[in-house]
Amino acid sequence: MTQLTDHPKLGRKRDPSRDGDILDAALDVLAEVGYEGMTIDMVAARAKAGKATLYRRWASKELLVIDAVACMKQLDVDPAALPDTGTLRGDLVAMIKPKAMEDGGKKLRIMAGLMSMLSRDPSLAETAHSTIMEPRAAVNRMFLQRAIDRGEIAADTDVDMIAQVGQSMAAYRTIMLRKPITPEFLLSIIDNVILPAVGLGPQK
Amino acid sequence: MTQLTDHPKLGRKRDPSRDGDILDAALDVLAEVGYEGMTIDMVAARAKAGKATLYRRWASKELLVIDAVACMKQLDVDPAALPDTGTLRGDLVAMIKPKAMEDGGKKLRIMAGLMSMLSRDPSLAETAHSTIMEPRAAVNRMFLQRAIDRGEIAADTDVDMIAQVGQSMAAYRTIMLRKPITPEFLLSIIDNVILPAVGLGPQK
DNA sequence: TATATACGGAACTTCACAGTTTCGGATATA
DNA sequence: TATATCCGAAACTGTGAAGTTCCGTATATA
């Protein structure tokens, strides 16, 4: 019979840097095999951590994933680095960069991996949307608003709806069709859908 | 040691009507809880069948689901019943009917439930897409082509891309946002995205 | 330097579910 | 009416993964 003690000042300190490593590993595995395919052993192995370390920090697989999604700000675009070319098309085309496409692709694969959890946990659906999908739509809204402000497009443009078009079609292609997002595909959305929809066709 | 017999003419015949009942039950459960949440017991209970009956007809849960998706033609639109109003907007708006929206919603929920299987089985991804998503896109392509033929819209319209816009945005809303598809939402896609994109804005 | 806690690793326990078998009863052929 | 197969129901088996415990070691306080 041993004495149960509780001396919070004593003993080795929990290493805070392990949290980020584990959450990153969880997102990697999530993007690769999805929530159901992911096992705690996979995440632990990827993070070179013991399973006990994971359960010391998160009570369950579900809570680990929820936390990982909530903390994935690092993939967000740097607002200061956003293009401002003077034309809507210039701004949209300037977003077609390898880095941004890679990050966007990973976000969409994470979203695909979360799919099966969304119906069980509506608050996760909300978190996932605002963390994964919303930031890029917000960028599009800004581009559209600037275009309105400079008189490039009509003031009654449905900014919210148009800003979702690219996101929706990219998500559809990645998640449903399982096809890669290419620069050609993104250019085609811009030139054949978005710009015509805001009245900026090829001036025919 | 009993004699193994093989008298295909003898004995009670397999009831073919059970197949459809079981496949329908599988699609129902799939739409409600997804592939991972679905259990064979749920499907058997829903179809009022014994588990042994299911395994006499399909070797595994996976094959049952693949067959269910491949056989779900009954939700398809009757090609003869398609609208032909004389205008693109008329045709598109005529598709906003309770029955079609309900069937479309169920199809998208089935697609969401299949998500976790798609990466494991690329041929299922192909089947699911051609069975679930493609038929409605084909209808849109027909509407667009007719509009081109009658000179309502430009001949160089990117029909394939535009035909996907509605599908993509509806799928995005149902699966990612978990919000219901309303007539207002569909009208907004038609009037604020699709028609402007093909040069049929509100004649401003 | 004694105590308390974190670490990675591995063995262990528990449980839900896929898949199998068995049952009594129904239905088909010969 | 004997045989073979189907049916739904329920008991049973096997397995993979969530979650727990224990170990030897590392690192912090007092």
B105, B179: one domain? yes
pLDDT at A186 over 70: yes
Q: In the prediction, which pLDDT does B119 show?
A: 87
pLDDT at A159 over 50: yes
Interface of A with B in 94-153 (CB under 8 A): 111-112, 115-116, 118-120, 122, 125, 128-129, 133
B122, B45: one domain? no
Question: Per the structure, how many domains does chain B have?
Answer: 2
Q: In the prediction, which pLDDT does A62 show?
A: 97
Chain B closest-CA separation from residue A1 CA (Å):
44
Inter-chain CB proximity A119 and B33 less than 8 Å: yes
Q: In the prediction, which pLDDT does B171 show?
A: 96
Å between CA of B74 and C1' of C25: 34
| Pairwise CA distance, residues A182 & A118, whole Å | 28
A128, A169: one domain? yes
pLDDT at A6 over 70: no
| Pairwise CA distance, residues A60 & A63, whole Å | 5
B47, B141: one domain? no
Inter-chain CB proximity B178 and A118 less than 8 Å: yes
- Count Cβ atoms below 10 Å from residue B82 Cβ, excluding itself: 13
pLDDT at A7 over 80: no
B83, B40: one domain? no
Packing angle, helices A98-118 and B17-37, rounded to 10: 120
B35 within domain boundaries: yes
pLDDT at A74 over 80: no
Mean pLDDT, to the nearest integer, of A117-122?
90
- The CATH number of the domain holding residue A99 is 1.10.357.10
- Tell whether B198 lies on the interface with A, counting CB pairs under 8 A: yes
A64, A89: one domain? no
Mean pLDDT, to the nearest integer, of A62-84?
89
Express the helix, strand and coil content of chain B in percent, nearest 5 each.
70, 0, 30
B187, B86: one domain? yes
pLDDT in tens, A89-117: 999 999 999 999 999 999 999 999 999 99
Token output for A42 = 């996979």
Q: In the prediction, which pLDDT does B5 show?
A: 57
A60 touches strand D (CB under 7 A): yes
B42, B83: one domain? no
The last residue of a domain, from among A25, A53, A70: A70
User: Consecutive sets of 10 residues in chain B, 204 residues long: mean pLDDT of each?
Assistant: 57 93 98 97 98 97 97 80 96 96 95 92 92 95 98 97 97 93 98 97 58
Structural domain for B35, as ranges: 18-70
Interface of A with B in 10-69 (CB under 8 A): 33-37
Q: In the prediction, which pLDDT does B81 show?
A: 87
Residue at shortest CA–C1' distance from C10: A50
Q: In the prediction, which pLDDT does A204 show?
A: 41
- Count Cβ atoms below 10 Å from residue A16 Cβ, excluding itself: 7
* Residue-wise DSSP of A131-166: IIIHHHHHHHHHHHHHHHHTTSS-TT--HHHHHHHH
| Pairwise CA distance, residues A48 & B30, whole Å | 36
Q: In the prediction, which pLDDT does B204 show?
A: 41
Residues of chain B with C-beta less than 8 angstroms from the C-beta of A165: 165, 168-169, 193
